[in-house]
Amino acid sequence: MKYYIIAGEASGDLHGSNLVKQLRELDTSADIRSWGGDLMEAAGAKVVKHYKDLAFMGFVEVLMNLRTILHNIDLCKKDIAAFKPDVLVLVDYPGFNMRIAEWGKQQGFKIVYYISPQVWAWKENRVKKIKQNVDKLLCILPFEQEFYRKWQYDVEYVGHPLVEVIKAAKEQPADAPLSDKPVIAILPGSRKQEVSVKLPIMLTMARHFPEYQFIVAQAPSLDDHFLESLTGHHPNVTMVKGQTYKLLRQAKAALVTSGTATLETALFGVPQVVCYKGNPISYFFAKRLIKVKYISLVNLVMDKLVVKELIQHDLTAANLLKELTALLKEDDTRKQVMKDYATLWHKLGEKNASRRAAEVIYEYAIA
């Protein structure tokens, strides 16, 4: 069978790669063409466009790059039409993928959406478009099935694909130490425009805790020179590339940008402070549109404040110092976080998401 898979971010590349592996196990003759990254390519997909060329986030950033975005959408449509897949699989990345879903449905392609757009966070009426254009929606968060039930839309909860990834990583032999000092991890994100705002604030913690080694996880989309220009003047700050999970296995605490990284950090059992600071104009509009109580997936899944969130104006050196100091103490605060993490794992860890998603996609492709 022929599969066309579109993932537009680093996390989509990770989950897409595991999906590709499972599809190839189920369908040994699978022909998989994709938009994604190095992981999907290594798993056996032919990558047409790398996600590094697609990473635009926020109202202002999207407007500034609108011509490029529209060109990419047109290029994608033409490539799908030429490939003629048996099923079109969309992985997260809703701003782009929902446009492709609408077009693909009109062209008569079978449409499966893996990792639901976060319509529960803002613009709930987008569910109408999803119902109209997506044949099968596969959710990875436990509360999403109930959300869609309100809209009379039958979706499938396949479990969270991060659980299987992190479970495998934790079962690996112990890594060589990244530092002689205890480690504090910094996960600043993958988008240059946001990292340039958040990372300098996060790095101010290094001078307050000289007994710790602060290690920045470098996203594949960020070049060495850019990060070195921000980290170079801190003697107890280093960087690692392609070793985020190794870093989290060794970290005593972490400073983490919002997004998937907060969930990864929690599943590794690392107490964290969630940090977010974006373009002021983009944040102004987002604050008025987003309806959820939290920005961290950890807090959203648990439906309570498990990890502290420092957002926009609250992300200051003084506030960060206060929260990080509390997490580094072996007291009730840290113990409660670890207890909540154990509950989080139980909520997310009952299914092999990649395998289940691949089964649904394969069965639908051959139907």
Identify whether the C-beta of residue 216 lies closer than 8 Å to the C-beta of residue 241. no
For residue 15, how many C-alpha atoms fall within 13 Å in the half-sphere facing its CB?
Answer: 32
- Is the per-residue pLDDT at 59 higher than 80? no
91 pLDDT more than 60: yes
Identify the weakest region by mean pLDDT among 61-75, 134-148, 179-193. 61-75
Q: How far apart are CA 119 and CA 102, in angstroms?
A: 16
Among 12-16, 204-208, 256-260, where is mean pLDDT lowest?
256-260
Mean pLDDT taken over the chain = 90
The CATH-assigned architecture of domain 2-159+351-366 is 3-Layer(aba) Sandwich (3.40)
CATH H superfamily, domain 168-348: Glycogen Phosphorylase B; (3.40.50.2000)
Which pLDDT value is given to residue 331?
83
Q: What is the DSSP letter of 158?
A: -
pLDDT at 9: 86
Please say if the pLDDT value at position 58 is more than 60.
Answer: no
Between 92-96, 132-136, 267-271, the lowest mean confidence (pLDDT) is in 92-96
Q: How many CA atoms lie within 13 A of 102 on its CB side?
A: 10
Q: Where are the domains of the chain?
A: 2-159+351-366, 168-348
Q: Any idea of the CA torsion for 213, 218, 224, 228, to the nearest 10 degrees?
A: -30
pLDDT at 238 over 90: yes
pLDDT score at 141: 93
pLDDT at residue 170 tops 60: yes
Q: Give mean pLDDT, residues 9-37.
A: 95
What does the pLDDT look like over 253-295, one tens digit per residue? 999 998 889 999 999 999 999 999 876 656 554 555 566 688 8
**Burial group, residue 35, by CB count within 10 angstroms (0-12, 13-18, 19+):** buried
| 272: nearest Cα among 241, 239, 295 | 295
Judging by beta carbons within 10 Å of its beta carbon (0-12, 13-18, 19+), is residue 158 exposed, middle or buried? buried
State the number of CA atoms in the 13 A half-sphere of 320 facing the CB. 28
Per-residue pLDDT band at 85 (split at 50, 70, 90): very high
pLDDT for 144 equals 94
pLDDT the model gives residue 73: 92
Token representation of residue 258: 């919002």
Are both 2-159+351-366 and 168-348 of the same fold? Answer: yes
The alpha helices in the chain, defined as continuous H runs, are 10-26, 38-43, 59-64, 66-83, 94-107, 126-133, 144-149, 161-170, 192-203, 205-208, 224-231, 244-250, 260-267, 280-289, 297-302, 317-328, 332-348, 353-366
